Every structure is written in C-alpha cells, then in structure tokens.
Amino acid sequence: MTIKFLTGAVAAFAIAGVSLLAAPAAQADDLEKIKQAGEIRIAMSGAYPPFNFVNDKNEVVGFDPAIGKGIAERIGVKPVIVTTAWDGIIAGLLASKYDTIVGSMTITDKRKEVLDFVGPYYSAGRGVFVKTDSSINALEELSGKTIGVTLGETHEKWAREKGGWEIRTYKGLPELLLELENGRVEAIIVDNIPVRVAMQKSGAKIRQLDTPDIEGGSIKVGIAIRQGNPELKAAMQKALDDMMADGTYEKIAMEWIGADIR
C-alpha cells in the first residue's frame, strides 16, 4: 500500500511550482492529449506486492496495473506502465513524465494541494508487524528499537514524527520482510493488506501488533493526476465507477488480494 508522503524537497518543489505546472484554463485538458497520443502512461513503483510488482517474466503485474489497464480500456487508449522510485514519483507526475499514478497512494490534504485524485479505489490501514516469536506485544515496547519503513511512504513520516526508535528505510515490502525475517529490524510499519497477503502466500512467521488507536489505521487510496484536468478526472472516475458496478473491480481484487477492498 504503499502509503506514501511528500518528502521535504519534493514538497517544496511541488508546492512552489504548482501554479506553473498545473494546466492553465487556456491549455487542452490532459484527456485530449492522452486520446491524441492513444496511450496513457501509468506510474507505480513496481515494488509493492501484491499491488504492483515485477514477475518472473519481467512484467509489472498486480492489483494496481490491472486497475490502471481497466481504466485505460474504458477511455479508449492503450495503458503504458512506468516504474519509478516512489520518493520521486510525485515530482515525475508534475514534470509530465507520465499521466497518472496508479500506485497505492494515500489521499492526504498535503498531496491535494498539488494533485487531484480519482477515487478512492481502495481502503487500507497502517500496521506494525513483528516476528512471531518476538517478545514485543505493544507499540510502546518498540521504544529504542530498530524499525523498518519504506522510503517516502506516509509510514516513514509518521514514524519520524513519533520518534523514540531507530529508523531504517528500504525500497519496498520485499526488502522489509527480508530484514524483519533476518532480525535486522525489530518491527516493520507498513500497509496491513499486502503484508497479510504475503503471510497467507508464504507462511511468513510474523504477526501484527494490536494497535487499535494508531494514527493512519484507516485510510483511503487514490489515483493521482495533475491539477487542472477536470475532463480527465471525470473520465477516469466514470471508468472506475463502471468497473466497480459491473463486477470488474471485484474480480481484480479477488485475483490479487483475495478480498473486495473498496
């Protein structure tokens, strides 16, 4: 999931440049440009299974690309999947390196200052996971311990604001799970859905701490586009709504997640 945030440098760039980068009223809506090109460039990290990851055939697959491809099909263009590092993904969108981010991005007020969102297209939450045989049973017991987070996620931002532990950052969930399994971190703070799926598929010997009052325990995930594109936003929202109404969304969710997560 993952769930991500604007780093300081990216935030400064995005906020300072929004008036220049958002499409002025005189310019064509991005929908027109996308239809003229015949394709929509869809960005994601490619390192967030089961939502988006590279399979053994070097194909980017998962819940996110399936949703992106479904939307592309419904607006009549070819989907082109682009993978990029998560900590620079917003800057890349604002610089027009791609047309949209369908990569498990949390909708936040900060992000809405520089982006528009389609959706939400699923719901998730923050989870804290430890090894099954760990003596740690509560969040407070992680004080002074080493925890792992994905670089650029909202979980990293939350962990740094909360403080009281050593933080190590990683590129994505596979690395986090490996570090936890090998004992290089005491806990990982991540979206709960992909970890639960990984636990079911691999039998990973990890468990989730009971943290009912944790900030970010329930969040909404959206599809990001550049501001100033009401026609593109409306077309993508209609496509998503149609997928949810005709059973396509549920089929995709069951294939990749094992549950309807809207």
Mean pLDDT of 158-171: 95
How far apart CA 29 and CA 229 sit, in angstroms, is 5
Residue 237's Cβ-count burial label (10 Å; 0-12, 13-18, 19+) is middle
Residue 59's Cα: distance from chain center in Å? 18
9 has a pLDDT exceeding 50 = no
Q: What is the pTM of this model?
A: 0.71
pLDDT average, residue stretch 208-217: 84
pLDDT(27) > 80: no
Confidence band (pLDDT; 50, 70, 90) for 124? confident
Going by pLDDT thresholds of 50, 70 and 90, the confidence category of residue 125 is confident
Are 215 and 9 in contact by the 8 Å Cβ rule? The answer is: no
Q: What is the pLDDT of residue 17?
A: 43
Question: For residue 194, what pLDDT is reported?
Answer: 86
Contact 236, 71 (CB under 8 A): yes
CB atoms within 10 A of CB 34: 24
- Residue owning tokens 């990569």: 103
State the Cα angle at 53 between 12 and 122, rounded to 5°: 70
Does residue 200 have a pLDDT over 60? yes
pLDDT at 8 over 60: no
CA atoms within 13 A on the CB side of 253: 14
What separation, in Å, do the N-terminal and C-terminal C-alpha atoms of the chain show? Answer: 13
CA distance 114 to 5: 12
Number of Cβ within 10 Å of residue 254's Cβ equals: 12
Instruction: Tell me the two tokens of residue 37.
Output: 């090109």
Interval 242-255: pLDDT, tens? 999 999 999 999 99
Structural domains of the chain sorted by starting position, each given as residue range(s) with its CATH number in brackets? 8-123+219-256 (3.40.190.10), 126-208 (3.40.190.10)
pLDDT of residue 215: 81
pLDDT higher than 80, residue 25: no
Angle at the Cα of 214 from the Cα atoms of 209 and 216, rounded to 5 degrees: 115
pLDDT of 6 > 90? The answer is no
Q: Quick: pLDDT tens for 71-87.
A: 999 999 999 999 999 99
Burial of 46 (0-12, 13-18, 19+ CB in 10 A): buried
Contact criterion met (CB below 8 Å) for 167 and 159: yes
User: Helix, strand or coil for residue 147?
Assistant: strand
CA distance 64 to 50: 9
